[in-house]
């Protein structure tokens, strides 16, 4: 995605990744899938024509140009075009999807904590959540996976610049750096697509 396209289904969209012997090895989001495709690390397996067709990044782009995706189809829109999102990828050079460190940012901390305030335990929309330094920065607390938690606005202002116990708050669990999520857990969490079924028997 050289021209920085907008993903219309970024949150929910999932792509099944197969290794070179067509065994499922991972499920990735749309952005990661397009990264693998455009870095020539994977090809698209297109199951839509009664058999499995293998397409390179260029061929996949061409197909979306010739036959633009319908409004109900998952796609990524850029200045030049509307690119259809693949459902299955075949790795070309690796047996596994290369591991990517989860970046430390607001969204990923919320994801780790499943949008649940780590003090009161309630789930909130992103707009009503804050990042909280468990040990405040001016007391030497670091900006790290181990010292950042999801907090609702009210717990956050109650805690202010204190340690949790000083504000009568308690962490629900000790914050940790997220682990690389095993494939089967991802599958369980995300459910499966019709087009994935022929491959999932092989896990
Ligand atoms: Zn709270």
Task: Quick: pLDDT tens for 171-202.
Answer: 999 999 987 666 766 676 667 788 888 888 64
CA of 178 to the centre of ligand 1 (A): 21
Question: Quick one: pLDDT at residue 1?
Answer: 37
Instruction: Answer whether residue 81 shows pLDDT above 90.
Output: no
Instruction: Answer whether residue 203 shows pLDDT above 70.
Output: no
CA of 153 to the centre of ligand 1 (A): 7
Pair 90, 54: CB distance under 8 Å = yes
Pair 177, 109: CB distance under 8 Å = no
CA of 50 to the centre of ligand 1 (A): 51
CA of 120 to the centre of ligand 1 (A): 4
- Quick one: DSSP state of residue 192? -
CA of 115 to the centre of ligand 1 (A): 11
Residue closest to 17 by CA, chosen among 85, 97, 74, 100: 97
CA of 176 to the centre of ligand 1 (A): 19
Query: Domains in the chain, start-ordered, CATH in brackets?
Result: 6-99+181-200 (no CATH), 106-167 (1.10.30.50)
CA of 134 to the centre of ligand 1 (A): 13
Helices (H), the chain: 30-38, 57-66, 106-112, 153-159, 183-190, 197-200
CA of 187 to the centre of ligand 1 (A): 30
CA of 37 to the centre of ligand 1 (A): 41
Q: How far apart are CA 152 and CA 174, in angstroms?
A: 17
pLDDT over 90, % of the chain: 56
CA of 118 to the centre of ligand 1 (A): 7
CA of 30 to the centre of ligand 1 (A): 31
Calculated CA dihedral for residues 108, 188, 77, 57, nearest 10 degrees: 110
- Phi, psi (deg, nearest 5) at residue 133: -80, 115
Give pTM, 2 decimals.
Answer: 0.59
CA of 106 to the centre of ligand 1 (A): 16
Output 8 or 118, whichever has higher pLDDT.
118
Neighbours of ion ligand 1 (CB under 5 A): 117, 119-120, 152, 155
């Amino acid at each position: 995605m050289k021209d920085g396209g907008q993903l219309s289904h970024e949150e929910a969209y999932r792509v099944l990744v197969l290794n070179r012997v067509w065994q499922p090895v991972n499920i990735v989001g749309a952005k990661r899938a397009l990264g693998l495709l455009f870095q020539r690390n994977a090809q698209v397996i297109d199951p839509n024509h009664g058999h499995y067709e293998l397409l390179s990044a260029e061929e996949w782009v061409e197909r979306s140009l010739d036959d633009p995706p319908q409004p109900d189809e998952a796609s990524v829109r850029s200045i030049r075009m509307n690119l259809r999102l693949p459902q299955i990828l075949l790795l070309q050079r690796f047996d596994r999807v290369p591991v990517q460190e989860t970046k430390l940012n607001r969204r990923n901390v919320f994801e780790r904590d499943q949008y649940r305030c780590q003090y009161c335990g309630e789930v909130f929309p992103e707009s009503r959540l804050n990042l909280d330094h468990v040990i405040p920065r001016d007391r030497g607390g670091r900006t790290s996976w181990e010292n950042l938690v999801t907090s609702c606005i009210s717990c956050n202002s109650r805690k202010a610049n204190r340690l949790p116990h000083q504000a009568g708050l308690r962490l629900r669990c000790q914050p940790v750096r997220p682990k690389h999520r095993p494939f089967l857990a991802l599958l369980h969490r995300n459910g499966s697509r019709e087009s994935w079924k022929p491959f999932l028997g092989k896990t």
